[in-house]
Amino acid sequence: MAVVEWKKDESVAVVVMNNTENRHNPDFAAGMLQVFDEIEKETDIFSVVITSSDAKSWSQGIDLIWITGAMEKKDFASIKKFMYDMNDVFKRILLFPMPVIAAMNGHTFGNGSILACSCDYRFMKADRGFFCFPEVDVNIPFLPSMLQTIRKAIPYYKLEELIFSGKRVGAKELEEHHVLVKACDDAEALMRESLAYAKTYRKGRPIFAQHKLRLHKHIIEVMEKEDPAYIEPLNLMV
C-alpha cells in the first residue's frame, strides 16, 4: 500500500494517508506531491478531500524516528531537503486550483496541524481525536511560513492560546472558534459531510487558482524569502 494514495468520488479526489500516524518524512512528502500532480491532470475533478485510513490518527506531525536518526548521522542535507519538500507540500495545497478540504478523522498534531491549516476548509469528527501544536513542549520553533499558514486558518486570539499553551482541543471547540466548517458526530458523518461539501464546488480552475494565489501570496513570499534563514544553518550543526 502506498504511503499516500487517492481515488475519485464523482468530482472529488479523495486523498488517503496510509501510514498509521501519517508522520511526515521524505516518503510522505514525495507521496503527497505525487498525488497532487496526478489529481491536477484529471480535468473532471473540482475539489480534494484529505483523510486517513487510520481510525486513530489523521496526521501526528514530523516522523521523529526518521529525523532523530538523520541527526545522529549528521545527515543535515537530508533534513534540509525534507524541510524544503514539506514547504513544497504546503505550497502545493495553498496554491492548488481547487478547494482542498481536511477531513480530520483522528489526532492532528504539530506538522499535521499545519497541514490541516494549509487546506482551505477543515472538518473533524467530534467523538475522538485532538488537534494540537506541541512545539512549545518539545522546544521546536515554527518556521515563519508555518505561523503565516496557521494565521489564515485560526483566529489570532485562539492561535496565541494554542501555540503558547500546547493545549489539546477537540472538534467542538475548534468549531466554536470557526477553525472548522463542522464538527461531525463520527467518522461516517465526517466523510459523508466532507464529501457533500466538496461536491458543491465546480468552480473554474483558473479563477480559483488566481484567488488562492492572491490570498496566499504573503505566505509564499515568507516561505521563499524568510524560511531559508532558519533552514540553511542546519549545515552548521557539525
Enumerate the domain spans of the chain. 4-198
Q: Is 3.40.228.10 the CATH classification of the domain at 4-198? A: no
Q: Using CA atoms, how far apart are residues 131 and 175, in angstroms rounded to an integer? A: 12
Percent with pLDDT over 90 in the chain: 96
**Residue whose entry in the numeric block shows the C-alpha cell 521523529:** 64
Q: What are phi and psi of 6, to 5 degrees?
A: -145, 160
Average pLDDT over residues 153-161: 97
Decide if pLDDT at 163 tops 60. Answer: yes
Kindly report the CA angle at 17 between 227 and 29, in degrees rounded to 5?
Answer: 30
pLDDT digits (tens, 9 = 90+) for 31-46: 999 999 999 999 999 9
Question: Would you state the pLDDT for residue 237?
Answer: 41
- Which residues fall within 8 angstroms of residue 14, CB to CB, at 6 or more apart? 6, 7, 8, 48, 49, 51, 195
Cell numbers at 45, concatenated: 475533478
Edge-first strand listing for the sheet containing 131-132: 57-59, 107-109, 131-132
Beta bridge partners of 102: 50, 122
Q: Using CA atoms, how far apart are residues 93 and 116, in angstroms rounded to an integer? A: 10
Residue type at position 31: G
Q: What are phi and psi of 107, to 5 degrees?
A: -55, 135
Phi-psi region of 166 (alpha: psi -120 to 50; beta: other; left: phi over 0): left
Average pLDDT over residues 82-94: 98
Q: Radius of gyration over alpha carbons of the chain, in Å?
A: 17
Question: Would you state the pLDDT for residue 238?
Answer: 38
Confidence at 62, pLDDT banded by 50, 70, 90: very high
Reported pTM: 0.96
DSSP H or E stretch at residue 208: helix 205-215
pLDDT digits (tens, 9 = 90+) for 104-149: 999 999 999 999 999 999 999 999 999 999 999 988 899 999 999 9
Average pLDDT over residues 7-25: 97
Q: How many CB atoms lie within 10 A of CB 89?
A: 21
